[in-house]
Every structure is written in structure tokens, then in C-alpha cells.
Amino acid sequence: MISKKINYSIMNSEIVGILAMFALLLLLAIPLGRYIGKVFNLETTWLDSIFNPLDRLFFRLSGVNTAKEMNWKQHLTAFLTINLVWFLLAMFVLTNMSWLPLNPDGNPSMSADLAFNTAVSFISNTNLQHYSGESGMSYMGQLVLMLFQFISAGCGMAICAVVFFAMKTQSESENGEKLLGNFYTLFIRSCTRILFPISLVVAVLLLWYGTPMTFKGKETMITMQGDTVQVSRGPVAAFVAIKQLGTNGGGFFGPNSAHPLENPNYCTNIIQTVLILLIPISMVFALGYILKRRRLSWVIFGVMTFGFLLLAIPSVVMEMKGNPAIAKLGIQQNMGSMEGKEVRFGSAASAYWAINTTCTSNGSVNAMHDSVTPLTGMFAMLGMMINAFYGGVGVGFLSFYIFIILAVFISGLMVGRTPEFLGKKIEAREMKIAMIIALLHPFLILVGTAISSYLYAHDQATYGGWLNNPGYHGFGEMLYEFTSSSANNGSGFEGLGDNTPFWNIACGIVMLLGRYLPIIGPVAIAGILANKKYIPESAGTLRTDTTTFGVMVFAVIALVAALSFFPALTLGPLAEYFH
């Protein structure tokens, strides 16, 4: 009886903790969304007096003319160019870390294939890590990757703002082409006005709770058992702050936020959990502010949240119930399924984090996803496969925008009217782009998984060392890796031996295609629509700020995204569950 009371007490406190985290998230996201809208609209904010001089310095040194507005093609050119330059810098640093400064522990340089994977991973906001940070990276390498976490998040926010501007019904055009602001201005303001100030506050909080912030090498410590060990440290607090805020997710240490120096206690766990979803949700409210269509932003938020809860609630419940296979052995699981989880967080907060991190492109972990129960693993994969329930910083809305276009088109066909979205007709050209982008994600995941499964099955001598868990779970490990790469997520079922030339190169290619084509497509659609003639709303116009349209968008997401992966999920986590 006492044991049951304790169990119920633990369960209730864990649920209260999750509800508190979500409430705190909304409390911060709504005003932050309004602030982001002001930043993008170039309205006066209270940080201008601090950062305007810094912005002017950046633009003076780079020679950028911020007065020149760009069309959608020029925005994409600037975006892709900036990423190419940073990729080349990353390759140089990662392949030469052994002799570059800030390497007190003498960590080696990376091989070419691992450096390629890592450079692509961090510029694409994926942060897939086929290395362990404390042994595979110098402080110089960590700082460069930390810089890229600002850059990739800032680029995502800037390019999303371009789509927001394209959706406006009124605009000035030059030579018949709609101008959509200046990419460099949006990028710099995203970094200096939003990402940097919040990261600074969070880094100080993490430092207060015991997260290291130093350039000294390993520290010699004596454990409670009396063993002498070498403990890695470094500029961790700053790294962790932007990794969570920018939905980057890369860990300074191999265990990521399950490591006590990255995530010391339940308070830091709350801070980091809230940060994962903060900007993705705030961007939805920023849309409402910029377009002056707050009702539309609430419909989008409602659809995203409904889908998120369909994944989060059963995952939390299943992890709190414990693992059925262990229960059959007669072993009590009063704290739920705790394999691969940290006692300081518990099963519920770990499951909630798992869905947070996979519904966004964050990918950080406070527990090992390889150890979650099969259906929780499936829900984590579904969050990445759908890739539109909040999503990453900026690009999450771009994925959702594709489903809006598809829903508008299908709805128009159902009522016998030419599809229109915000006063612009959606025609064959836009639909072709939307369908290509919608089908790209399943193509990358399923083809990659099929190739890896074939190689593993037909050449055990060469590829047999990939899997520590052959069978259904092993298939799930390979499926998860390509899903994570294509969704620019970066988490993994870590029973997979992924630091090999095949996985480094294959995942690098998937990350590139999964990052840039889903950005190019929505920006192209928005730019094309922006240049079309505005058609005022009439009695027959399909309203997109209603619950009915929200249901339609959710149905399209379920049909186009989720069902595409059902056969693969049947071979992996579903088969493991019923086995």
C-alpha cells in the first residue's frame, strides 16, 4: 500500500511538472512572437539602442547595402551563399583541429568523411553527431560549431520572415516583382535581437546551476567510490543555451543533455525543455502579428498543438507504465520505464522531452531514445516524419506552409472553385512544387533505409558491425537515422554504429537535400504567389482562419505525411511491439 501511494505521488508530480513546462512555454511564446514580429518589421524595440551600433559595424565590414530590398530569388541566393562559405570554414577547422589553438586535451582532427558529415550537420541545423564531443572535438571546434548554431537558426528565421512578407496582400513591387526586405538585415537582426540576448540569459542560468564555462582542460576528480577520474569540461553553458534555443540540439558531451554537466538538475531540465519549443511556437504568433491575421496564427497553432499532443500524451503514459517485457519478469517499475533514463528527470519528463525534441528539429536528448518502449520510439519517429508539428526554428512553419497549400488546393477542388490563399490563386506551377517537396521527405527516408537494409542483409562481413540489435529494432535504428537526417533533427537510436564512411556520407547527403530543398520550395511558392494579382475576398472565398480549415490541414498531414511511413513503421517499432 505504501509503495502504491509513493508511486501515485511520483506520477502526479511528474504530470504537474509537464503541465507547468507547457504553461510556462505559452506564457513566454505569445509575447516573444509579438516581439519577433516587431524585429522583422523593423519596428523600434528596446534592444535597438544596444545592438544598432553592432549591426552597423557588421554591415560596414561586410559591405552589405541594407537599403536594397530583394526578391525571393535574391533571398535564396544570399541564403545559399552564406551557408556555402560557412561549410568551407567548418571543413577546414574540423580537419585541422589537432594543430589549431584551444585544444588543451589534445583531441585529434576529424577524418574527411566525418568532417563532411559534421559540417553539413551543423550548417543545416541538424547537429547529427557521429562523434563524442569530449573526445572528438577541440574547444576551437566546439566554438566554431556553436557559431554555426547561431547562423543556422538565424538563417532559418530570416528565410521564414521572407515567406511571411510574401504572404502580405499589400506590397510595393519593382518591375512587377514583389520585394521582400533584405535577407542580411533579417539574418543579423534574428541573431542580435533574438538569439543572442536569450542565449546569454540562459547561459548565465545554466552557469548558476553548475554547468561549466571554462577553457581549461580536463579536471582530475575523485569519485564517491574513491576512483580517480579525468572529467572533461569546457565552454559548455554557452553551447547548451544556443543548442536548445535554436533547435540545434548538438551536445557538448556525447550523452548530450543526459550528461550532468549539460543538464545538472530538474530546474535546468525545465529551462531546456521550454527552450526547445519556444521559438518554433513564437514564430507562429509572429506570423499573426506581421500579417495582422492573429486568428490564422491561432488556427495554425491549434493544428500543430493537437498533432503534438497526439504524440506526447501516449508516449508519456507508456513510459510511466513501464516496459511490459520487464513487468512479465515480476520486476516492479514504480518509476516507470527507467532504462536509459536519468533518475533526476524521471520517465515522464524524459518521454515529454523525447517528443519535444523530435517534433522540432532539435534532436537533443535527456534520455537514450534507443531504450524507450517500442511505441514511444514510433511516436518519436512520427514527429520527425511529419516534420510540421512546430518543427525547427523558421523552417518548421515552411513545412507546415506546404501542407496549407495542399489543403487549399484540395478544398478548392471539393467545392468547385479555383483555389486561393490570402487572395492569391494557387495554380499548377505552385502545386507541382508543393507535391515535390511533400514527397521528398518520404523519398529520402525510405530510399536511404532500403539501401542500408540491403547492404546489411547481403554483406554481413562488411556491414554486419552496424547493428548491436539486429531484427525489428535494428531495422528501426536504421530507419530512425535516416528519418533524423532528413528532418534535420540529429537524434538517434544509438545502438547503430554510425561513424563509418557509408553513414557519414549517406546521412550528409540526406541532410543537405532535407534542409535546402524544403526551404527553396516554400520560398519559391510564396514568391510566385506574391507576384500574382490580389483578389479581394468574396462570399465564395475559402476562409483559412477557421476550425474547419484547420481540420482539413490536419487531414492532409495525416494522409500525405504520416501514412507514407506506415509500412516502414510496421517493419520496425510496430513489429517489435507485437513480437
Evaluate if residue 367 carries a pLDDT over 60: yes
Q: Which helix (H) or strand (E) holds 425?
A: strand 424-425
In this prediction, residues 257-278 reach a mean pLDDT of 96
Residue 453: CB atoms within 10 A of its CB come to 16
pLDDT tens per residue, range 515-541? 999 999 999 999 999 988 888 877 667
> Which residues, in sequence order, are bridge partners of residue 425?
420
In which band, very low, low, confident or very high, does the pLDDT at 476 lie, cut at 50, 70 and 90? very high
- Least confident range from 34-43, 321-330, 426-435: namely 321-330
* Dihedral angle sign, alpha carbons of residues 482, 562, 417, 542: negative
Q: How far apart are CA 348 and CA 339, in angstroms?
A: 13
For 462, how many CA atoms within 13 A lie in the half-sphere containing its CB?
Answer: 11
Specify the amino acid at residue 549: F
pLDDT of residue 2 exceeding 70: no
pLDDT single digits (tens) 299-316: 999 999 999 999 999 999
Compute the average pLDDT of residues 29-43: 96
The answer, yes or no, to whether residue 8 has pLDDT greater than 70, is no
Close Cβ partners of 416 (under 8 Å, ≥ 6 residues apart): none
For 106-124, the pLDDT digits (tens) are 999 999 999 999 999 999 9
Compute the average pLDDT of residues 490-495.
91
Give the pLDDT score at 10. Answer: 59
Q: Taking 90 as the threshold, does the pLDDT of residue 192 lie above it?
A: yes
Residue 379 has pLDDT above 70, yes or no: yes
Burial letters 302-324, b for 16+ CB under 10 A, else e? bbbbebbebbbebbbebbbebbe
Average of pLDDT values for 438-456?
A: 95
Mean pLDDT of 54-78: 91
Spatial CA neighbour of 282 closest among 351, 367, 190, 219: 190
Question: Exposure of 38 by Cβ count < 10 A (0-12 exposed, 13-18 middle, 19+ buried)?
Answer: middle
The model's pTM is 0.94
Split at pLDDT 50, 70, 90, the class of 335 is: confident
DSSP 10: H
Residue 59: how many other CB atoms lie within 10 Å? 16
Cβ of 413: how many Cβ atoms within 10 Å? 11
Q: Which residues contact 385 (CB under 8 A, 6 or more apart)?
A: 441, 442, 445, 483, 487, 561, 562, 564, 565
Interatomic CA distance for residues 152 and 107, integer angstroms: 26
Among 288-297, 330-339, 391-400, 568-577, which stretch is predicted with the lowest mean pLDDT? 330-339
What pLDDT, on a 0 to 100 scale, did the predictor assign at position 350? Answer: 96
| Distance between start and end Cα atoms, the chain | 33
pLDDT band for position 176 (cuts 50, 70, 90): low
DSSP three-state, residue 92: helix
pLDDT score recorded for residue 328:
81
Choice between 351 and 134, residue whose per-residue pLDDT is larger: 351
Looking at the chain, the whole-number percentage of residues with pLDDT higher than 70 is 96
pLDDT at residue 1, as a whole number? 46
Instruction: Bin 538: left if φ > 0, else alpha if -120 < ψ < 50, else beta.
Output: beta
CA distance 168 to 290: 8
The 10s digit of each residue's pLDDT in 51-62 is 999 999 989 988
For 217, the 3-state DSSP assignment is coil
pLDDT digits (tens, 9 = 90+) for 197-253: 999 999 999 999 999 999 998 888 887 788 888 888 999 999 999 999 999 999 999
Per-residue pLDDT tens for 380-412? 999 999 999 999 999 999 999 999 999 999 988
177 pLDDT higher than 70: no
Average pLDDT of the chain? 91
